[in-house]
Amino acid sequence: MKPFLAFRRHPFDVEAHFDFSLMLAYALPAPALEPLLAPGLEVDRVGDLGILAVALVQTRDLRPAGWPSAMGLDFFLSGYRVFARLRDRPSIRGLRILRSDADSRVMKWAGNLFTRYGYELCRTRASRHDHILSVEIEGPEALRVEADLRPASSPPAGSPFRDLDEARRFAGPLPNTFGWEPETHSLVIVGSSRARWDPVPVTVDVTRLTFLDRFSAFNPRLANAFYVENVDYRWKRGVLVTVS
């Protein structure tokens, strides 16, 4: 059992290139998100609200750090996560991964072998015409969004953020992601680093997002939308932290 557990702790550094990443953040009452968190975590709040994020990422050359880029995987990733903090060390912010979808069978297999991020297979279509980016996902969770990539001047209407500077604190990704290992009652914390991360606020039209259906009673509100492109990214080896 123990050797197999070690496999799923993100056991080595990984690097990749993001052709682009579109990030959507939704505000919900913090109590609606608390049941989704692992022990040892608390909701990273904006007043009485928590933030659930959706990341749509065209990923290229994902591979163990140090391997040639030609040996990497190319795939589209959609990730669902909650902004969270360590309860005992609230200065440590990160993302609690709820599920991940990829349009690559190899990535689904490898992602579930080396992490607990819940990879599922999906079908994706992404296209760009001038300043309009369209993304459609079909699978266990479906999504359809159109983004106007010209810089927005303010957060979306109804956002809890007063301005773009405040909204940018929840633009993702954060320095850490949090996985949960129930067998040892431990968090697996994966640090990260990136280059040229300067997300641009954008306007989006989301016409389908089935992941939010389960929260319909809480009236999720689009809190921000940011876009970034041509980013080199690196995830560090996971660190196991036992929760008392």
pLDDT confidence bin for 2, thresholds 50/70/90:
low
Task: Kindly tell me the sign of the dihedral angle through the C-alpha atoms of 213, 149, 84, 11.
Answer: positive
Provide mean pLDDT across the span 98-106. Answer: 97
Instruction: Using pLDDT thresholds of 50, 70 and 90, give the confidence band for residue 4.
Output: confident
Could you tell me which residue, 174 or 236, shows the higher pLDDT?
Answer: 236
Question: What are 224's two structure tokens?
Answer: 């921000």
**Where do runs of H (alpha helix) occur along 123-243?**
164-168
Range of the domain at 15: 2-242
Residue-wise pLDDT tens digits, 22-65: 999 999 999 999 999 999 999 999 999 999 999 999 999 999 99
Q: What is the pLDDT of residues 171-202, one digit of tens each?
A: 866 789 999 999 999 999 999 998 878 899 99
Angle (CA) 40-140-169 rounded to 5° is 45
Rounded Cα distance between 15 and 63, Å, is: 6
Residue 3 has pLDDT above 90, yes or no: no
Is the pLDDT reported for residue 1 higher than 60?
A: no
The predicted pLDDT at position 119 comes to 96
pLDDT value of residue 173 = 67
What average pLDDT does the segment 65-79 reach? 96
User: Number of folded domains in the chain?
Assistant: 1
Residue 195 has a pLDDT of 80
Classified as helix, coil or strand, 73 is strand
The pLDDT tens digits of the residues spanning 126-171 come to 999 999 999 999 999 999 999 999 999 999 999 999 999 999 999 8
CATH number where 173 lies: 2.40.400.10
Instruction: Label the pairing between strands 93-102 and 176-181.
Output: parallel
- Tell me the mean pLDDT in the region 215-244: 95
Please give the single-letter amino acid code of residue 230: N
For the stretch 120-159, what's the b/e string if a residue is b when 16 or more beta carbons lie within 10 angstroms of its beta carbon? eebebebeeeeeebebbbebebbbbbebbbeebeebbeeb
Report whether pLDDT(12) > 80: yes
